[in-house]
Structure 1
Amino acid sequence: GEWQEIRAMMGTLDRHIEVEDVSMASVRFANGAMASVTNSVLSPREVSYLRFDFQKATVELTHLYSYQNQDWQYSAAPGVSAEELDAWRQLPENVPSSHAAQLQAMLTSYAKNERPPVSGPDVRGTIDFLASLYKSAITGQPVARGSITPDDPFYHAMNGQA
């Protein structure tokens, strides 16, 4: 579902850069689900790790720069049938993750004079999430989805300074 509120922290702990090198956020979704998001450029391991905990399974992905369908791991809760687990593993066509795949989809849409799979409204939602994360981290306050409007300094700049 859609995210509802974000609470975040960030810091520049090691690198001599003008932005954060570590960020953390807690996100509450409209359906009551919650997520924790951590981002760090300090890790020498450079591995991305995604973990989704559901009532009937934990789904995990560990990858270095790119992944494929076969890289997803499933841990079923006791009592989940083999048939149900097999149904979860029915994934769409394997398209390795990369910017090339995203760019190809966009170029194909343009060639067909069609709207790309991800366009304005989708991108706006992502920018709203990121701006809300930065606003929460900088102000120390939770930020609600859609609360950043044109009169908010974070609408115009991720650091809130126009």
Structure 2
Amino acid sequence: MLNVAIVGTGNIAPMHINGLLQFPDRCKIVALCDIYPEKAEAMKKKYNLDCEIFDDHKKMLESDIKIDLVHICTPPYVHAEIAINSMNAGKHVIVEKPMAASLKECDAMLEAEKRNNVVMSVIAQNRFRNSIYKLKKAADSGIAGKICCAHVNSYWWRGHCYYDLWWRGLWEKEGGGPTLNHAVHHIDMLNWIEGSLPEEVTAMLANVMHDNSEVEDLSIAVLRYKDGSLAQVTSSVVHHGEEQGIVLQCADAKLAAPWDVKAEMSRPNGFPVEGGNKELIAKIEEYYNSIPDLTYEGHTGQIEDVLNAIENGNRPLITGIDGRMTIELIAAIYKAGCKKEIVKLPLSKDDDFYTVEGLLKNAVRFYEKGASIENLPPDEITVGNYK
């Protein structure tokens, strides 16, 4: 039985709690921690948890409560500090996305994991969605041919008041806008499917709807890979409908999530045959439909994977290395957008965008943050639309 603590009891914490509660014979929530302890108390009551409440993660780690695993669900700028302190105390950690606010912090977290011989996993729960998991399998099968062009549509919508929360909309606290905090999901998927980072990145950043925020609310990036293929990543909190997805234009067919497959055939004049390559489409559909569904999806699926890793002494599917890759690509997008240049990867340790300080020095501040409130009203949140 693994004893679990959750640090940060805001909007995303219920996803972790509900996931953990699916495995009552394998784990137990023994502590909740929040700088607003009344929020932790309310969550304890809502889920009828038998646990202790703390207002500081250091106090929690120094207490006599036995803790094996710490879930970190705080704003990004403190992910590294809490993760490193937890791992130095011998605890395994699950860190919410994004892994950290900079590559320097990611590297410090990886070093702490190795030095303390613990497990660290970074939340990328959409790898545990059937639609994404099966898309990856279909792409890896090679039936559709090599990926020539990928379109990543990280389309979200957030109202003006979203950025009134005290830590949002500030480069120093949130670390960026939807490129970091929303498209992180889709960028992880792209890295996972492609199997590598691109060699070059260019991007444009904008803030078109949220004049109470320093950070971008829209970015469009173009990536070039070693084999010459391209990808486009749109990161947005201004898209009505939140119609998210990934489209892979492969040599022989299109694969997409939400699931869609198309395959063209050429006429003698080079134009497409009406109806396309029906035989190949049928073959891809048959393969896709043969892939078994995952037992658990979303956060629950990733939590189960981490429990398995800890119990069996294995590595989780999503590691700190994966989390770092995502941050590196996001840092390159920010560098390209802020400095208006083509950025080559990998980023070196002497690059300004390797550190938070370098980001803050170079970041474009679209507006001065206006309203700042401690907490928004508790309500449902959206965590992705992949239907």
TM bracket, shorter-chain basis:
0.7 to 0.9
Deviation of 1:84 (Å):
3.5
Relative distance call for 1:100 and 1:17 in structure 2 (3 A) is farther
Aligned to 2:168: none
Residue number among 45, 51, 73 corresponding to 2:260 in the alignment: 73
Listed one character per residue, the Cα deviations across residues 96-132 of structure 1 (whole Å, up to 9, x for unaligned) are: 7523322321222122222112213222222211111
TM-score, normalising length from structure 1? 0.81
For residues 56-115 of structure 1, give each alpha carbon's deviation from its aligned partner in whole angstroms, at most 9, with x where no partner exists.
Answer: 1111223xxxxxxxxx11112224624643454256432375233223212221222221
Equivalenced residue count is 152
1-structure distance, mates of 2:220, 2:313: 40
**Residue in 2 aligned with 1:33?**
229
Superposition map of 1:123-134 within 5 A:
123-134=323-334
Amino acid at match of 2:279: S
What is the rounded CA distance, in whole Å, between the counterparts of 2:358 and 2:256 in structure 1? 32
* Alpha-carbon offset, residue 158 of structure 1: 8.5
Alpha-carbon RMSD: 2.3
TM-score (norm 2): 0.36
Corresponding letter in the other structure for 2:359: G
User: Is 1:8 aligned to 2:203, yes or no?
Assistant: yes
Q: Secondary structure at the match of 2:261?
A: strand
Secondary structure, aligned partner of 2:333: helix
Q: Distance in 2 between matches of 1:73 and 1:22?
A: 26
Question: What amino acid maps onto 1:105 in structure 2?
Answer: D
1:69 alignment partner in structure 2: none
SS of the residue 1:151 aligns to: coil
> Structure 1 residues 109-118 or 76-85, which shifts more?
76-85
1:94 counterpart = 2:293: yes
Unpaired stretches in structure 2, ≥5 consecutive residues: 1-193, 266-276, 362-387
Letter in 1 for 2:201: I
- Alpha-carbon distance in 2 for matches of 1:103, 1:158: 33
Does the CA contact (< 8 Å) of 1:59 and 1:75 recur in 2? yes
- Gaps of at least 5 residues in structure 1 are 63-71
Identify the residue that residue 55 of structure 1 maps to in structure 2: 251
Larger relative strand fraction: 1
